[in-house]
Amino acid sequence: MLNWDDPFSAPIAGTAEAKKQSEEKAAAQPAAPAANDLSEAPASAEIKKMPLMNAKPVNADDKRVINGEADINQLAPFKYPWAWNYFLNANKNHWTPLDINMAQDVHDYRHKLTLEERHVYENVLSYLTTSDILAMRNIGLAVMEKMTAPELQIYQARQVYEEALHTWTYQHCIETIGLDQSEIYNRYRVVPEIYQKIKLANDRLNTVMRSDIDLHDRDELENFVMSYAFFAGIFEGSWFYNGFSPIFALQRRGLMKGTAEQLQYIMRDEVMHASFGIRVCKQIMKEENVTLDPKKVQQMFEEADAAEETYAGYILRDPILGYSKEVHHGQFRYTANRRAKQLGFEEPFPGAEATLPWLDEQANMRKEKNFFETKVTEYQTGGGLKWD
């Protein structure tokens, strides 16, 4: 039997030790009456009637993304069946970092990567380790509690788990390669070019992760939508989408294939996260009649762009074969334009063109082997996801 105080101490079921413990426990305790034996019920016992609630059945039309008054504990009938479908599809993407062989990466890092390539690899991981924790805190602590339709919360609960899984993945890569964990994890705190991106996200998160926030207040509501749009459209939809590409560039040359495959799994999750967040933002704006200030939206994208350009200049201060800071920054602007349009905003960087035409293919592979055939992966949803 499971020991609640120490679950790892219980003997294995079916063994002699387990049988002996069961017999000793039975001998030490008096026989209990059968569960359906009412003959010994205390005379004073009274069955109390539950008070009538006079509650009306839940009508799906009464549900709202936020500020709703329908029963948050009742899943169906659905008002947002698409949210439930996100949850079902996300569960088809289940994986763990232990599924992927990292042995070749250890050899590549020690014997094949140049100093410049090691610099890129280490700093991408240093940024990502903190970023996914921020994404987890945003959804788990600032967003979920404000949702008033359970089908939305259920997918977001899965999203919280996935962000934790991504954090485990980066830790697994760092540990497997043999990097100095303390140095890598603290790098974002001492490297201004990495810290700038983290600070932008953290500042945005702190404006909505407050116990006294009131989404009936128009200013608070607009700020919440701006924050959600930032995390969905920029943080996950652009920074993350663009952020894995330096490692993918190594993978395309046959280097660090295990790490890149880990990031391909993560990228499928992040595509779903961003798509879901964008859809929720648009739904809130429709239901609550919210129109965001175009100047504030443009400023939000420009701040993110400046931070990304600075970051690219640091991790790619010396270009690596087939990849440069100009390529990285250009792809960010192109991706940011796509996310802005999906949110219903004007393009913040008119005329920006794709500088990594292979990146979408990298994100959308389905039922195929990854580059260099490291592992057969089958993604049920990432490849078929339509952003528009």
Q: What average pLDDT score do residues 72-90 get?
A: 90
The answer to whether 172 is a known ligand-binding residue is: no
11-to-4, 23, 26, 29, 326 alpha-carbon distances in Å:
13, 14, 16, 20, 60
pLDDT band at 172 (very low <50, low <70, confident <90, very high): very high
In this predicted structure, the answer to whether residue 127 has a pLDDT above a threshold of 80 is yes
Q: What average pLDDT score do residues 109-127 get?
A: 96
Q: What average pLDDT score do residues 73-96 get?
A: 89
Determine the pLDDT at residue 211.
80
The answer to whether 270 is a known ligand-binding residue is: yes
In this predicted structure, the answer to whether residue 4 has a pLDDT above a threshold of 60 is no
In this predicted structure, the answer to whether residue 231 has a pLDDT above a threshold of 70 is yes
More confident call, 135 vs 94: 135
Which residue of the set 86, 109, 170, 241 is catalytic? Answer: 170
Determine the pLDDT at residue 42.
54
Q: How confident is the prediction for the chain on average, in pLDDT?
A: 85
pLDDT in tens, 343-386: 999 999 999 999 999 988 776 654 344 433 344 344 443 444 44
CB 248 within 8 A of CB 260: yes
pLDDT in tens, 186-229: 999 999 999 999 999 999 999 999 888 999 999 999 999 999 99
The answer to whether 328 is a known ligand-binding residue is: no
Tokens 């798509």 belong to residue: 275
pLDDT in tens, 245-290: 999 999 999 999 999 999 999 999 999 999 999 999 999 999 999 9
Residue 13 CB neighbour total at 10 angstroms: 10
The answer to whether 273 is a known ligand-binding residue is: yes
Which of 36-40, 93-97, 228-232 has the lowest average pLDDT? 36-40
CB 358 within 8 A of CB 252: yes
Determine the pLDDT at residue 367.
37
The answer to whether 132 is a known ligand-binding residue is: yes
Between helix 218-229 and helix 192-206 the angle, nearest 10°, is 140
d(CA 228, CA 138): 9
Residue ranges and CATH numbers for the domains of the chain are: 81-377 (1.10.620.20)
Determine the pLDDT at residue 363.
63
Q: Is 144 exposed, middle or buried (0-12, 13-18, 19+ CB in 10 A)?
A: middle
In this predicted structure, the answer to whether residue 61 has a pLDDT above a threshold of 70 is yes
In this predicted structure, the answer to whether residue 72 has a pLDDT above a threshold of 60 is yes
CB 315 within 8 A of CB 120: yes
pLDDT in tens, 141-164: 999 999 999 999 999 999 999 999
More confident call, 387 vs 90: 90
In this predicted structure, the answer to whether residue 2 has a pLDDT above a threshold of 70 is no
Determine the pLDDT at residue 380.
44
The percent of the chain in helix, strand and coil, each rounded to the nearest 5, is 60, 0, 35
Q: DSSP characters for 157-194?
A: HHHHHHHHHHHHHHHHHHHHHT--HHHHHHHHHH-HHH
d(CA 360, CA 356): 8
- Kindly state the greatest CA–CA separation across the chain: 85
The answer to whether 107 is a known ligand-binding residue is: no
CB 256 within 8 A of CB 108: yes
Closest Cα partner for 260 from 177, 112, 362? 362
Residue 334 annotated to the active site:
no
d(CA 84, CA 89): 9
Share of the chain above pLDDT 70, in %: 79
Q: What average pLDDT score do residues 38-47 get?
A: 54
In terms of pTM, does the model score above 0.85? no
pLDDT in tens, 281-315: 999 999 999 999 999 999 999 999 999 999 999 99
